[in-house]
Chain A
Amino acid sequence: MRTLNACLLFSAMLALALSPVLHAQQSAAADKPSGAAKVAHPAPAPRRDISGIWGPEDVMEGIAPRGVQSHAPFTEFGANLANKVYKPGDGPRKAPITEVNDPLDSCDPAGFPRDLLFELRPFQAVQTPGRMLMAYQYQQIWRTIWTDGRALPKDPDPRWYGYSVGKWEDDYTFVVQTVGTDERTWLDNAGDPHSADMRVEERYHRVDHDTMELTVKIDDPKTYTAPWLARDKIRLKLMPQDTDILEMICAPSEAEEYKKTMVNPLAK
């Protein structure tokens, strides 16, 4: 009995000692990458599995308010869109706020691949037979990546989020090809354009159980003189399984109220 009491006392003390740590971990579970990075030796990556909730290790790198870090030179078509048509709110060609014509301001879809190049926040990869689903916090949208072996369509009609097929290049690298995007969308927050002929490659390389690298390659010869990397191994951390992917929706009525209150007065 004495041994039992001592054991219970020790357990209670241990629980009290650990409770701040547990509480801190639970608080962090809301929408931040897991504390798994603190583990000295993360478990090895599972084979052919990227399912789970992932978030950029560096939140601001995921949001990328200024747009991509660099890109290949524009073609004449690309330069015309970038310099004369698109008026971004940020980046090297930032326009006065009254001239900004970013499609997101009226709640148009971010589209693909802008959903990976701007406001990349937590998203969930769901592997199911024949397809991979990607569910994103920003704009609360999802896209389908076909994994049933089908080919890309040869002359696809445009879609906001394109048409995607994916396959495992090796046990830890999932590669996605996308065509058929909608050229009304921008690539990023800096008003970098693309054409409907763009082909995008995403590479999801799972480094270990808790870490993944995402690389996004843009191949759009109508708009850029060479293929280029819009994301180069951005690090994603596996988030707790019970992470609540929060709602982040552009509602036209809210956007209009914001414009009326916060933007229009600046034009006076």
Chain B
Amino acid sequence: METKPLRVLSTAVLFAAVCAPLAAHHGFAAYDESKQLVMKATVTEWLWANPHCFLRFDAADDKGQVVHWAAEVSNPIDMTRRGWTKRTLNPGDHVTVTIRPAKNGAPIGQLLKVELPSGQSLVGWNPGTR
């Protein structure tokens, strides 16, 4: 697999300032607000559903092993407002994702941004853009 993690960014910067607790009925303290991971990823599934849409993708870890990830955004209505559709992502698409990972090391997270094969960049999890 040619995908690799690109870098881990310590933040506590922009997103911490913008992201108020999130508009759903779930707790989100399990995600690490001090980290962002940027990865080259291959889409395996894009679920357009309530309560939150989420993306399944494969990305290689720093040892080259493929890891199956899942990362969530908001509900379909909020995502529609941000320019997403059910057809935005398709299995096999090669994209660059920015996520906020889980604190416990599980391969899940909040999907903050996706750069599509076309070069278009879409904001994912960010209530400030509602």
* A-B interaction: yes
Which of B23, B76, B102 has the most CB atoms of chain A within a 10 A radius of its CB?
Answer: B23
Given contacts A65-B22, A66-B21, A246-B77, contact A261 B108 (CB under 8 A): yes
Q: Does A255 contact B (CB under 8 A)?
A: yes
Given contacts A65-B21, A65-B23, A97-B29, contact A255 B50 (CB under 8 A): yes
Kindly supply a per-residue 1/0 record for chain A positions 229-268, scoring 1 wherever the CB is within 8 Å of any chain B CB and 0 otherwise: 0000000000000000011111100110110011101101
- A248 contacts which of B26, B28, B54, B75 (Cβ < 8 Å)? B75
CB neighbours (8 Å) of B24 from chain A are 65, 89
**In residues 55-75 of chain B, which contact A (Cβ within 8 Å)?**
56, 70, 72, 75
Given contacts A89-B25, A97-B30, A262-B72, contact A250 B106 (CB under 8 A): no
Which of A89, A96, A250, A255 has the most CB atoms of chain B within a 10 A radius of its CB?
Answer: A89
Q: Does A94 contact B (CB under 8 A)?
A: yes
Q: Does B82 contact A (CB under 8 A)?
A: no
Number of interface residues of B (CB under 8 A): 32
CB neighbours (8 Å) of B50 from chain A are 248-251, 254-255, 258
Q: Does A63 contact B (CB under 8 A)?
A: yes
Closest A-chain residue to B105, C-beta based? Answer: A268
**Cβ B102 vs Cβ A59 within 8 A:** no
Q: Does A100 contact B (CB under 8 A)?
A: yes
Closest B-chain residue to A267, C-beta based? Answer: B104
**Cβ A266 vs Cβ B54 within 8 A:** no
- Interface of chain B: mostly helix, strand, loop or mixed: loop
Q: Does A183 contact B (CB under 8 A)?
A: no
Q: Does A151 contact B (CB under 8 A)?
A: no
Chain B interface (Cβ < 8 Å from any Cβ of A): 20-30, 47, 49-52, 54, 56, 70, 72, 75-77, 80-81, 102, 104, 106-108, 127, 130
A-B contacts, 26 listed (Cβ < 8 Å):
A30-B80, A31-B77, A60-B20, A60-B127, A65-B127, A89-B24, A89-B26, A89-B27, A90-B22, A94-B29, A97-B27, A100-B26, A100-B27, A102-B25, A119-B23, A137-B77, A251-B50, A254-B49, A254-B50, A254-B51, A257-B49, A258-B72, A261-B108, A262-B70, A268-B104, A268-B106
Chain A interface (Cβ < 8 Å from any Cβ of B): 30-31, 59-60, 63, 65-66, 88-90, 94-97, 100, 102, 104-105, 118-119, 121, 137, 189, 246-251, 254-255, 257-258, 261-263, 265-266, 268
Which 3 A-B pairs rank lowest in CB-CB distance, beginning with the nearest?
A265-B106, A97-B27, A89-B27
